[in-house]
Structure 1
Amino acid sequence: MSRTLHRFADRTALVTGSSRGLGLLIARELARRGCRVMLCARDPRELGFAESRLRAEGAEVASVVCDITDESAPRALLDAVHDRFGPLDVLVNNAGIIQVGPLDALREEDFREAMETMLFAPLRLTLAALPDLRASTAGTLVNISSVGGRIAAPHLLPYATAKFAAAGLSQGLRAELAGAGAGAGEGAGVSVTTVLPGLMRTGSHTAARFHGRPGAEYSWFAAAASLPLLSMDAERAARAIVRAAERRRPELVLTPAAKVGVRLQGLAPATTTRLLGLAARILPGPGQDPRRNVRGSRAAADSPLPAAVTVLGDRAGRRYGEPGPGR
């Protein structure tokens, strides 16, 4: 693994939700830049596989099993980082969940779960990590929001609600933490980068939860998350994210479709709302059992979508550790 000197060389990073998908790829990219990386996720088997995989590539890596929604998680994570590597320099808040379905198939608990996972848990971890980040000469915070944090797409409302909140928190933190770090002059302070990705080919359609009519919801989401014109290669996304953080960029929007959507939302919000309303009318209704919800790997069995449509997304999922159909 190349150890070419970067701003992150010989620094310590913590990446949440890093046993698979985008989090795993960000962790790998940080390690390639010379970072010591602590992984964390809930599934010990997936986490062990991810750690072994990165270590085989030459990474200096460790892992800790952790549910970030647990209020004791920040202390446990930072203790693990300190015990293994020392003070933290880079925190990447990446962990997330996706719930897909119409409003009538969702409950208040679904919104609470999304907010706890993608707003309050990252907030608690960030507050706990701030003493380390402020003391570091390379203190960096990366918050993975989503284009859904700017444009509330239908049938993704809990996700969009939490990502809107996460994007606002991240932007506010950048202003609050500018100059609040070690050293003085240009570049001092904790750098905060807000990332707004569009759809990426990580196999996320197999890990998402689908509500109402799972097979029908899976069909449109899996297709969008797999087709090249609508989704982005996740390895390229991870490289762009780490590069943006290294360069202390305030914001990064990924995928051409996401860039167009964000620009349209800014220039013509009424038109964007009308287009989203049309999309909502085309998408599936709640069905006869609106409280039904299943994971994508099971929803695939009820979907009429040809397997050929999701071949790129399925291949990416196998490569990046997402569970495939039947697992």
Structure 2
Amino acid sequence: MAHRTRLPPRRRGPGALVTGGSRGLGLYLARHLVERGCNVTIAARDAAELERAAHQLYEETGATVHVAVCDVRDRAAVGEMMRVVHERDGLDIVVANAGVIQVAPLEAVGPEEFTDAMETMFHGALHTSLEALPYLRGSRGRLALIGSVGGLLGVPHLLPYSCAKAAVGALAEGLHAETAAAGVSVTAVHPGLMRTGSHRQAEFGGDTSAEFGWFSAAAGAPLLSMDADRAARRIVDAVIQRRARLVLTAPAKAAQLAHGIAPGLTTRLTGLTARLLPAAPGKGPLRQGHEAGLPRHRIARRLRAWGSARNDRVARHANQREPGPRTSS
């Protein structure tokens, strides 16, 4: 399989760009692209975080990774970034990964949270795709859009995230159909829960400590979540092999299958799940995971400690050590 998961060398490149590449899944993807021989650029909004990620990748791989400070919600900025990367390395692979995770019941969010999720994840992916495609047509390149199992069915307490990721999934499928004749492949990636340490930068509303407790526990559970390094390797393999779609984790595949066969029943079951999640004490500002207080109940505190511990073990490798800006992955 090795010959199928490496790109042929080019005069400039192969060049790869990963948005949301300074930490979490994006950083793991950059690491695997470097290992496949790509000249990699990672993009995010926080310059210091990007420099730390580039230094970490250099220490691990010996490769120099370029950084680009860019807000993917700004199409003009994305266009300028694409031009610079293309002129320096060429553009053969582009991964739209930037995102934000908001965990809260519906009563604790408003239209602004939905707008923020759509602007960061859907419009960010849209801007990245539209600005990359002229270059990818020239290189017969590869584009990957990182969706989520949350975009394949509505997930309670993750509704803004689910709506944005559903739009990303539709965009990926439509782009795949419309660009195939030009030799460009578009891969829709739908991961389930992964151990990336993202619980520290995810945003929580309502009963923030309880929301953080269940989310961090689920994201760290070995049967529910996937090792992020293994997930990144499979994603890069799928992109290089020009696969149209990739769904990761057994629970995510099961949820997709159940929703496809019996969508009404699946929706009712998610409604039952919602009743088990924390009730909202009222609307207030969302807070990042590292700001969440301790749960009131002893069992909830133990659950949080257990889940957080598994995620905390990968935090350094995923560059999640310090509180970051609102974009995450």
Please give the TM-score of this superposition, normalised by the length of structure 1.
0.91
Q: Quote the RMSD (CA, aligned, Å).
A: 2.1
User: Which one-letter code corresponds to 1:216 in the other structure?
Assistant: A
Please give the residue correspondences for 1:153-172 in structure 2 after superposition, counting only pairs within 5 Å: 153-172=155-174
* 2:266 aligned residue (259, 263, 272): 272
Unaligned segments of structure 2, at least 5 residues? none
Residue 326 (structure 1) shift: 11
Within the candidate set 168, 171, 176, 1:174 is matched to 176
Residue 299 in structure 1 maps to residue 297 in structure 2: no
- CA deviations over 1:99-123 (Å, ceiling 9, x no partner): 0111111010100000011111211
Say whether residues 1:263 and 2:257 are aligned partners.
yes
1:73 is paired with a residue of what secondary structure?
helix
Gaps in structure 1 of 5+ consecutive residues: 181-188
Q: Partner of 2:17 in structure 1?
A: 14
Structure with greater contact order relative to length (CA < 8 Å, sep ≥ 6) = 2
Q: Secondary structure at the match of 1:285?
A: coil
- Distance, in Å, in 2 between the alignment partners of 1:300 and 1:8 is 50
Residue identity matched to 1:260: A
Q: Summarize the Cα distance change of 1:218–1:126 in structure 2 as closer, same or farther, 3 Å threshold.
A: same
- Equivalent in 61, 76, 81 of residue 77 of structure 1: 81
Residue 185 (structure 1) aligns with: none
Q: Deviations over 1:23-53 (max 9, x none)?
A: 0010110110000001111111110011112
Task: Give the conservation status (yes or no) of the 8 Å contact 1:101–1:156.
Answer: yes
SS at match of 1:92: strand
Structure 1 letter corresponding to 2:150: G
Distance 1:223 1:39, change over 3 A: same
Matches within 5 A, 1:180-199: 180=182, 189-199=183-193
State the identity as a percent.
Answer: 49
Cα deviation code 1:225-247 (max 9, x no counterpart): 01111100000000000001111
Q: 1:5 Cα shift?
A: 8.0
**Partner residue, 2:283:** 290
Instruction: Give the secondary-structure state (helix, strand or coil) at the position aligned to 1:63.
Output: strand
Q: Tell me, what secondary structure is at the counterpart of 2:66?
A: strand
User: 1:5 and 1:317, CA in 2 relative to 1: closer, same or farther beyond 3 A?
Assistant: closer
Which residues in structure 2 correspond to 1:298-317 (within 5 Å)? Answer: 298-302=291-295, 304-306=300-302, 307-317=305-315
Matches within 5 A, 1:1-327: 6-7=6-7, 9=9, 10-56=13-59, 57-85=61-89, 87-137=90-140, 139-180=141-182, 189-287=183-281, 289-302=282-295, 304-306=300-302, 307-323=305-321
Kept after mapping to 2: 8 A contact 1:213/1:292? no
Structure-1 separation of matches of 2:253 and 2:293: 29
| 8 A Cα contact 2:188 2:244, kept in partner | yes
TM-score with structure 2 setting the length? 0.91
Secondary structure (helix, strand or coil) at the match of 1:13 reads: strand
Q: How many residues align?
A: 315
1:273 to 1:214, Cα distance in 2 relative to 1, 3 A? same
